[in-house]
Amino acid sequence: MNELRTIERWKQKTRHIKIEIYALYLAYRDPRVPWYAKAFVALVVGYAFSPIDLIPDFIPVLGYLDDLILLPLGVVVALKMIPEEVMADCRSRSKEVMSQKKPVNWMAAIVIIFIWLMLIAMTIALVVRLSNASK
């Protein structure tokens, strides 16, 4: 019985953070938000809605680190940068939209795929360089 309550609490927290992230997306588009807040919010929201994680979930422990620590921390910092009246407006719109669909940011997915490909290419180049140096 206690496990069911815990699972339900986690589901509610997950839903709440999704609403907050979408509200941040809406705030990003609001002209009342300062440019530096928009820049930071773009990073947080793009990463949150990307279907691909920077650290894949199949990597033990680290795979969930971004979901459990980095993303909520980014949301907290972004919320501090945005005027409260803007966030109140955006939260109400976010609740309405999120009850209907789940937004996905494919541009962020492309950027993350590009980062992974660059890391793989750099690793291959390093291995080739090291193997040539040892000959």
CA distances 45 to 8, 50, 108, Å, are: 25, 8, 9
CB burial string 6-15: b at 16+ within 10 A, e below: eeeeeeeeee
Q: Averaged over 91-112, what is the pLDDT?
A: 73
Answer whether residue 118 shows pLDDT above 90: no
Answer whether residue 31 shows pLDDT above 90: yes
pLDDT at 83: 93
pTM: 0.62
pLDDT at 94: 86
Report yes or no: 48 and 21 within 8 Å, Cβ to Cβ: yes
- Supply the DSSP symbol for 51: S
pLDDT at 32: 94
- Supply the DSSP symbol for 134: T
Q: Tokens standing for 9? A: 């609490």
Say how far apart CA 112 and CA 46 lie, in whole Å: 10
